Amino acid sequence: MEKFFKLKENGTKVSTEIMAGITTFFAMSYILFVNPTILSAAGMPFQAVFLATIIASVIGTLVMGLFANVPYAQAPGMGLNAFFTYTVAFGLGYSWQQALAMVFICGLINIFITITKIRKLIIRAIPESMQHAIGGGIGIFVAYVGLKNANLLTFSADSDSIIDATVEGNKVVSADINGGIVPALANFDNPAIILALIGLVLMTILVVANVRGAVLIGIVATTIIGILMGVVDLSNVDLDANSLSQSVDELGVTFGAAFGQEGMQSLFNDSAKIPQVIMTIIAFSLSDTFDTIGTFIGTGRRTGIFSKEDEAALEDSKGMNTKMDRALFADAIATSIGAIFGTSNTTTFVESAAGIGAGGRTGLTSVTVAIMFALSSLFSPLIAIVPAQATAPALVLVGIMMLSSFKDIDWTRLEDAVPAFFASIFMGLCYSISYGIAAGFIFYTIVKIVKGKTQEVSFILWVIDLLFILNFVILALL
């Protein structure tokens, strides 16, 4: 073990690595609750997504530990799963099978750009301020989804604001409303809303107090409180239907669905939607790529996990010559593997910083995390009783944590502030990560044109802008 992981060379020992792995697992274990909740909203079987989440996390994290020998854990990424459900499935109208096909293609693209110099071109094309804006904007979006899931917000509109509605019998099942809609804070006269508020306060206290596993403890505690309040009805929980064997059975629905008739085989049938499909895959890829790179640079530089040569490899290397190359390759591989089993993009979790802070320096930390995820599959029946009011606060807190990206943007410089605003704030206001990215990139280009700095806009960024604009034109004509 010493020889394989080079523990002494990295200034660590077995016990430290194992504790670091356990720390990382508890810091990110909320994904076991949250990912199935988000993806099942798109029509995917909850228990299948639960097991797919575990499998993708185990495989991706093992590759990270055994191949790259770095202390990073992987799991389906927050923000990317929200993009999968709320933008690709709900907003753009694709089936979850088609969305999985896009994720699989995204993984292949990320593998390709990792082993070639294309990665260098893409990284240089996206301004640093925009990278930070996208990270913070995803935080806004995730937190907003959490507030909505907790039913802490209500929305009202007068009849003049309704521009289209779908009615079944005497019931309005959906409506399109223009700018006349008004958001407001919900009234605390409902046990479920009160439970969500209790969960949010409790989880905030635990996180601020730096309690290890704060998010997981908050979810469990809120669920217990929900049982006592009667919000969670244990009599309606079918433990047999939510057993590990049932999860395995349901996995048959999602496993390989990305390649079936409702997935890859129909994804490119409509020629009018091909630009939109390409744009969506690019959005998946950009978010995944920069989220991973930011995690590696942010945690690896100060700890010495990655050398200066590793960081330089982000721009000018190809192949598998450094730990950074191998780590990025592990991340890209995990995305395609996750799509095969039935989950959104698998990415490197920033919560790995918790284990690194506990002393983790090698792949043994990652192997420990993978083992913990594998063991969690035995607790499938317990997942079924966790209510949305318990997971929604986790989304809010994770979103808040992601807002730290904003500190690296110079908001006093309008040349940076304008595109950063549209990239980040539009994600929440438009309820779409991809549209936020589109707005940011387009306004970045407009600002540079006005300032006479078009030479700062790379060819790749021009192409991405054109694809986004073409997508908007197509949607307007449909």
Residue 417 has pLDDT above 80, yes or no: yes
Of residues 412 and 304, the one with the higher pLDDT is: 412
Residue 301 has pLDDT above 70, yes or no: no
Assess if residue 441 is contained within a domain: yes
Task: Please report, to the nearest 10 degrees, the dihedral formed by the alpha carbons of residues 466, 469, 473, 478 taken in order.
Answer: 100
Mean model confidence pLDDT for the chain: 85
Please tell me which of 50-54, 277-281, 349-353, 382-386 the model is most confident about, judged by mean pLDDT: 50-54
Domain count, the chain: 1
Assess if residue 352 is contained within a domain: yes
Assess if residue 165 is contained within a domain: no
CA dist 217 and 163 (Å) reads 44
Assess if residue 169 is contained within a domain: no
On whether the CB atoms of residues 145 and 436 are closer than 8 A, the answer is no
Assess if residue 162 is contained within a domain: no
CA dist 192 and 152 (Å) reads 10
Lowest mean pLDDT among 166-170, 192-196, 202-206: 166-170
Residue 157 has pLDDT above 80, yes or no: no
Confidence of residue 205 (pLDDT cuts 50, 70, 90): very high
pLDDT at 217: 85
Confidence of residue 181 (pLDDT cuts 50, 70, 90): confident
pTM of the model: 0.74
Mean pLDDT, residues 117-132: 75
Assess if residue 172 is contained within a domain: no
Assess if residue 377 is contained within a domain: yes
Mean pLDDT, residues 262-290: 86
Confidence of residue 418 (pLDDT cuts 50, 70, 90): very high
Lowest mean pLDDT among 85-89, 121-125, 329-333, 403-407: 121-125
User: pLDDT digits over 184-196, tens only?
Assistant: 888 888 999 999 9
Assess if residue 160 is contained within a domain: no
For 235, what's the count of Cα atoms within 13 Å in the CB-facing half-sphere? 2
Domain that holds residue 86: 2-151+186-477
At residue 223, φ and ψ (nearest 5 deg) are: -65, -45
